[in-house]
Amino acid sequence: MGDFSIQRIATGLPGLDAILLGGLVARQAYLVRGGMGAGKTTLGLHFLTEGARHGEPALFVTLLKREVEVRLQAASMGFDLQGVDILDLSPSAELFSEMQTAHIFTPAEVERAPFTQKIAARIEATRPRRICVDAITQLRYLAVDEFDFRRLTLAFLRFLMEQGATVLLAAEMDGAVTDESLPFMCDGVITLKRTPEGRMIEVEKLLGSDFHAGHHSLRLTDTGMTVYPKLVMPEQVQPFTGEIIPSGVPALDTLLNGGIERGLVTIISGPSGTGKSLLSLLFTKEATTRNERSAIFLFEETRAPLLKRAERLDLPLARMLEEGTLSVTQIMPTRFLPDEFTTLVRREVEEYGATVVVIDSLGGYQKTLHGEDFTSSIFDLCTYLKAWGVTTILINDVEAVTGDFRVTELHISYLADNIIFLRYLEMHGELRKAIGVLKKRMSHFEQTLRELIITDHGVDVGEPLSDLRGILLGVPEWVGPSKERER
């Protein structure tokens, strides 16, 4: 009866293997389709060299490019083709002169027999476990009509499958034959495409197995292809314990009724320069005392100034980096693909065990999406982090320095379990800062505002500003007999 158990094989692309839930199903045929320059040949090279690396004979059948072109492309990206056999069936230069003579028979009738004989001979000689054919659409020119093309392709696939190989068939998306015929002949379909958001990869079919559907980000570089899967929720959700994480500043912890809860989402919102990033650093510092790892992702500020500023405020970020309890990653939003950033977050959480993640800021994260829906993306990211029990701190910039109070212009305040807001105050001609808590889902909190004081010695939070009104407008008025507290 044969062995019908499912065996997975790696593609050489960890991100694609994650989308495929472990890799390709062995001994099946897969169509890899895309436009010119989409990365079909590159994907095939990853697939073949991965097999050769594990001692599996691999065969690259090129029907379009010359062997020297394939080897040059592989060398330019650092692929080691040792163990990969190449069968060059591309049109030769002699064909041009031969085409100028009259033929009684059609080219298909003349060339089909040598073509099939060469493939059969090479496969019988090498017994490859992995085969890549680039590009299968060239078989059209050996067929009399579309019916003949389908019959020839099916016979070709059956021959390859009978050898026990796993086969990738690269195909140009340039006509109805590619779109309508080949997907039905193959066990799986992988589509490479370019969109306004960047390069994407999508698994559209995988016989005998589930997979992660939808578009996933893809990057082509001079070292090959990298696939960035979309976020996937973990199978097991970490239980919510209600454990309080303090800031280390007593008055601020009093304002927060002890601190923020582990595994929840906190938004720190306010105008530029009010100290939002600094507040997030307080929680990462406290995590270090518990020997926990924090991950900070910077979108606007560069790493060096942050470390210098932290040193001046007596926050030991440099030591935390050396000890491995902190990572600081600088993100260039316009250069990142939609799923590339979330892949970095996943690595910090799943591989390095980060328990606190700081995104500084939401505006920068929005730019990495290149037009994708921001609300859905940040919702998925926060849901993923909560499922892992990670404490998430989102830094949000508001443009208004004074005037009508708004938590965020991004309409995502509903995502937050805690909201801490900062405001500028004009008091007796001097610019001050106030801090307050607008929301705390799991407990009560102090509903007054306090002055936030940042000096070269660190952070201090003053007594409640109970004798002032109009603080949220940024122009407070005295309503009580008390005098302004001396700083």
Number of folded domains in the chain? Answer: 2
Beta partners for 270?
397
**pLDDT score recorded for residue 93:** 55
Residues 267 and 398 reside in one and the same domain: yes
Q: Is the Cβ–Cβ distance between 415 and 385 less than 8 Å?
A: no
**pLDDT score recorded for residue 14:** 96
Domain encompassing residue 174: 8-228
User: Given phi > 0 = left and psi -120 to 50 = alpha, else beta, which region is 88?
Assistant: beta
Q: Alpha-carbon distance 177 to 480, whole Å?
A: 82
Looking up tokens 């105050």, which residue turns up?
425
Q: Which two tokens stand for residue 53?
A: 């690396």
Domain holding 341: CATH number?
A: 3.40.50.300
**pLDDT score recorded for residue 475:** 60
Residues 193 and 329 reside in one and the same domain: no
- Give every CB contact of residue 469 below 8 A, 6+ residues apart in sequence: 476, 477, 479
Q: Alpha-carbon distance 383 to 238, whole Å?
A: 12
Residues 462 and 377 reside in one and the same domain: yes
pTM of the model: 0.85
Residues 62 and 185 reside in one and the same domain: yes
Q: Alpha-carbon distance 7 to 15, whole Å?
A: 19
For 303-443, strand residue ranges (E) read 326-330, 354-360, 391-397, 418-427, 430-440
Residues 207 and 295 reside in one and the same domain: no
Q: Give CA torsion, residues 437, 438, 444, 445, to 10 deg.
A: 20
Q: What is the largest CA-CA distance in the chain?
A: 110
**pLDDT score recorded for residue 106:** 46
The pair phi, psi for residue 385, each rounded to 5°, is -65, -40
Q: Is the Cβ–Cβ distance between 9 and 53 less than 8 Å?
A: no
Closest of 338, 340, 407, 412 to residue 375, by C-alpha = 412
pLDDT along the chain (487 residues), means of 10: 73 97 95 92 97 95 91 95 92 53 45 76 92 87 80 86 91 62 91 88 94 95 95 90 93 96 96 93 94 96 91 90 96 90 96 97 91 92 96 90 66 92 81 90 91 87 80 62 48
The pair phi, psi for residue 190, each rounded to 5°, is -120, 125
Residues 130 and 33 reside in one and the same domain: yes
Instruction: Report which residue type is found at 55.
Output: G
**pLDDT score recorded for residue 471:** 60
Residues 216 and 360 reside in one and the same domain: no
The pair phi, psi for residue 369, each rounded to 5°, is -85, -15
Q: Alpha-carbon distance 395 to 283, whole Å?
A: 13
**pLDDT score recorded for residue 446:** 92
